[in-house]
Structure formats: C-alpha cells, structure tokens
Amino acid sequence: MSELVQLMMNQENILCHILLFFSSLFVCGVIARYGHFTIDLLGRRDDLRAVQASHQAPVPRIGGLVFFFGLVGLVPLSGYLGIDHTYVVQLLLALVPILVIGLAEDLGWPMTPRTRLAAIAASGACMLLAFGYYVPRFGVPLLDPLLTYAPVAGALTIFMASGVVNAFNLVDGLNGFCGFIALSTALALTVVAHQAGLRDISLALTLLIPMMLGFLAFNYPFGKIFLGDAGAYMIGHTLVWIGIAILSLSQDVSPFAILLIFFWPVADTLLAIYRRGVMRASVDRPDRLHFHQLVMRYLEIRLLGRGRRRLANPLATLCLAPLVAAPQVLGALFAFDNQMAAVSTFASAVAFVLAYVVGMHSARVISRRRVCASRAVPSVSPEPAE
C-alpha cells in the first residue's frame, strides 16, 4: 500500500490529479450555470413526473460530459504519466455509442430500452476487439470450462458487462449516490490492481478519482447537476471493463472479489428484475422500489416529515454509503482468496435481501398506519344554516 501512495505522490502524478480535478470542477461549474438552457430548449421537464423521480426541480442531466472530457484530457497527459495514449483513445472510441445514445436521452429524445442495451453491447464489443480482455474464469470449477471457448467467453463477457453498465444507471437515483459508488469502486479496484502488480491500471484508476470529486462537488448534497444516462453508462462501462482487465491480466485475482466490488449495483438490478417478474411487470418498467428509494422515503416520512425531500435525498446517500462500501472492502481484502471471496459474496447477498425485506415490511406497516389514521379522523359536515 505504501508503494501505491508513493506512486500517487509522484510530482507529475500529483500535478495531473490536480489539473483533472480543477478541469472537472470548471466544466461542472459551466454546466451548473448554463445547463438550464438544455432544459429550456429541449423541454426536458418530464423527469419530475417520472415514477422514480427523487428531485423536485428540473436539473441539467449532462454532467456525464465531465467524465468524457476528462478522458479526452488524459490523452496529452498520458505521456507525463508513462501511460500509452492509444489505450485512452481506444477507450474513448468505445464510449461513443453509449455517449450518443445516453446523451440523446438526457437531452430529451427518448431511447427505447432495446436501443440503449444495443449501444451498451456495441461499446462492450468495441472494448473486446480493441483490448482482447474477457472474463477468463468464474471461480466455480464446474462453470470455468465454458470460458475455454473464445466465442462463448466473448459473448458472456459482453452480456455480463452490459448488465453492470445498465446497473450503474439504475442506482443513479439520489444526489451523490452513483458518484459515490463509482468513487468507491475505483478505489477498491485500485487496491486490487496494485496488489496484483498492475501498475498502469492502478494509476489509471486513481486518475478517475479527481474527475468524480469535481463532479460530486456540484452533485452532492443538493444536486446542481446530474450524471444522466450518458454519465452513468460511461462510468459503469469504464469501471467494469477495468475489472475485466484485472481478471484477464492476473490469474490470482478472484472473480468473486471483483463481483464484491460491483456488488451493490448488481444486487439492486437483480432484485429489480426478480421484483418485476413477481409483479408480472415488464423488466424495463421503472418503479420506486429500489433500495435507495425506500431509504429516502423512510427518512422523509418517518424522521424528517413530508416536504423535506431536499434533505432526505442526500441524507439517504450518506446512510447507504457504508452498506455500499462494506462488500467492496471484503472484495479488496479477499482479492486473492477465492473461497473467502465466494463466502463473502453469499453473505453480502443474504444481508442485502434481508435488509430489503425488512425495509419493505416497515414500509407496509407505515402505509397501513397512515390509512388507519386517516379513517379514524371523523369527517365534519357543516352546520345547516338557520
């Protein structure tokens, strides 16, 4: 770990981190100041009526451009960092499909779920062709032989990566929440990459941190700008493919450890698929039953009072941050112990489901009490005039 700190404290690296942070801060400031023009021109006000909405005023959703511009800035800086700039260029090119589709959605041109998934898969295919990285093993002896066939391994890798990318968009529902998940994911992957001796990858991951901090300065706590679909997709895409690269380049890293690092968005998405299946609703139909939405509404109704969503929103992120980080700490801790990483994954899944079930039960109890209280209040009819 001391070597990682020394790597980050290198003079050239420090200057690049500072430059990326202030560049991100500047671009976010411009978006916060002038981003309302995109809302006024394109009429992006339907967000407030969306069933999953968690904010009360229209906000620019083009904050994801900060991440893309930050990667563009890495091209000239890569020489100072000792990183091959062609890797950054290839990543930027692979991001183009999801940038275009996501930005179109953010600016008011609705994209069908099928179109968005196709764009995510296309970006994944570009990464596979450009870098040649794929999931080399599942960490389960009975399933690992499936990945010995290149077409199967490639198809499964794109499928799983696309699911994680979409998951980052689904958890982007609170101020700072997706940004925090991205930040903690990058930190956990940095630790694992450093332990695996992957210097370039660990350094590249640290460069994502100042970009996210600049964004969070405007996104948390009061949501002056949002990542939008484009931002969530690009960040999820970059992080998940870096996780795949770590697995491909180091035979000792446990796949379950990488899964633990991405645990929260993956678990929330799988639970949403199961929930909608039980309710016989379309898998891509939005709802207000994600974990973070339950926590926000509990804080708003039980602790803060109705009409305090502006406070309940960022407070929910603060409450959820330790729950998100816990599996990631386990993933970094057991990165080279596949058995313990698998046990930790199972334990995290059980804890996640139990916590969600308890939360849903509490929500139903609160709802029943409110209905009973409303029925117990006698209606007062006006006195007849004399």
- pLDDT for residue 385: 43
- pLDDT for residue 328: 98
Rounded to 5 degrees, what angle do the CA atoms 267, 231, 319 make? 45
Numbers of helices and strands, H then E, in the chain:
15, 0
Rounded to 5 degrees, what angle do the CA atoms 209, 251, 88 make? 35
- pLDDT for residue 42: 56
- pLDDT for residue 115: 94
Per-residue exposure over 174-183, b if at least 16 CB sit within 10 Å of its own CB, e if not = bbbbbbbbbb
Rounded to 5 degrees, what angle do the CA atoms 323, 327, 333 make? 135
Contacts of 273 (CB under 8 A, 6+ apart): 283
Do residues 348 and 260 make contact, with C-beta atoms less than 8 angstroms apart? yes
CA pair distance 102, 67, nearest whole angstrom: 13
Amino acid identity at 95: L
CA pair distance 52, 64, nearest whole angstrom: 20
CA pair distance 220, 29, nearest whole angstrom: 13
- pLDDT for residue 386: 37
Token look-up 């794929």 returns 134
- pLDDT for residue 253: 97
Torsion from C-alpha of 10, 12, 14, 17, nearest 10 degrees: -140
Helix, strand, coil content of the chain in percent (nearest 5): 75, 0, 25
Do residues 12 and 81 make contact, with C-beta atoms less than 8 angstroms apart? yes
CA pair distance 255, 264, nearest whole angstrom: 16
The C-alpha R_g of the chain, in whole angstroms, comes to 22
Query: Would residue 382 be called left, alpha or beta, if left means φ above 0 and alpha means ψ between -120 and 50 degrees?
Result: beta
What does residue 286 show for φ and ψ, rounded to 5 degrees?
-70, 155
Do residues 103 and 96 make contact, with C-beta atoms less than 8 angstroms apart? no
- pLDDT for residue 84: 84
Candidates 205, 204, 217; CA nearest to 66 is: 217
Query: Is the bond preceding residue 221 a cis peptide, omega within 30 degrees?
Result: yes
Taken in order 172, 178, 182, 185, the sign of the CA dihedral is: negative
pLDDT tens over the chain, length 386 residues: 556 555 555 666 788 889 999 999 999 999 888 877 766 555 554 554 554 454 556 788 889 899 999 999 999 888 788 888 899 999 999 999 999 999 998 888 888 999 999 999 999 999 999 999 999 999 999 889 989 899 999 999 999 999 999 999 999 989 999 999 999 999 999 999 999 999 889 999 999 999 999 999 999 998 999 999 999 999 999 999 999 999 999 999 999 999 999 999 999 999 999 888 888 777 777 778 889 989 998 888 888 877 778 888 999 999 999 999 999 999 999 999 999 999 999 999 999 999 999 888 777 766 666 666 666 655 544 444 43
Angle subtended by helix axes 291-298 and 263-278, to nearest 10: 90
Do residues 296 and 309 make contact, with C-beta atoms less than 8 angstroms apart? yes
Q: Is 380 helix (H, G, I), strand (E, B) or coil?
A: coil
For the chain, give the number of residues.
386
The half-sphere exposure of 331 on its side-chain side, counting CA atoms within 13 A, is 28
Contacts of 24 (CB under 8 A, 6+ apart): 66, 70, 210, 211, 212, 213, 214, 215
Candidates 369, 118, 133; CA nearest to 249 is: 133
- pLDDT for residue 371: 61
CA pair distance 368, 362, nearest whole angstrom: 10
Q: What is the DSSP letter of 47?
A: G
